Amino acid sequence: MKNKIVPFHARQGDVLIESIESLPANRKKLPREHGRVVLAHGEVTGHHHSLSAENVSLFETVDQAGVTFLEVQEAMAELTHQEHDTINIEPGVYKVTRQREYVAPDIVRNVAD
C-alpha cells in the first residue's frame, strides 16, 4: 500500500489555508508589509494574519478575486495573529481564502475579524 499525502488545511479566524499542488502560472508576487507577509488585515481591530519568516512569499492572480497563494520554502513558518493561536505551516504551496458572508441580495463581503 502506498503512503497517501494528506492535504493540509487550517483556519485562523476568517482565513482558510489549503495545500495545493503548485502555484498558478499567472501569478504576481505581493510586497511584504513592514517585513511581514500579511494574509489579511483585521477591519475592526487593526490586527493581522501574518508570517515574518524570510522563506515565505505571497502571490495573487488576476482571474481569482479575493484568493491569494502562499509559498513556504525550506523551513516551517509561523502564521500569527494577535487574538488567535499560532499555526505552524510546513514547506509547500497553499491557497489562501478569506471567509465571506452573505449580507443581503447581491451583497457578499469578507467576514470582519
The helix (run of H) or strand (run of E) holding residue 17 is strand 15-20
Q: How far is CA 2 from the centre of its chain?
A: 30
pLDDT at residue number 92: 93
pLDDT at residue number 41: 80
* Cα–Cα dist 95/76, whole Å: 17
pLDDT at residue 15 greater than cutoff 50: yes
* Cα–Cα dist 31/38, whole Å: 9
Q: What is the pLDDT of residues 91-113, one digit of tens each?
A: 999 999 876 544 556 654 445 54
- Residue 1: other Cβ atoms inside 10 A: 3
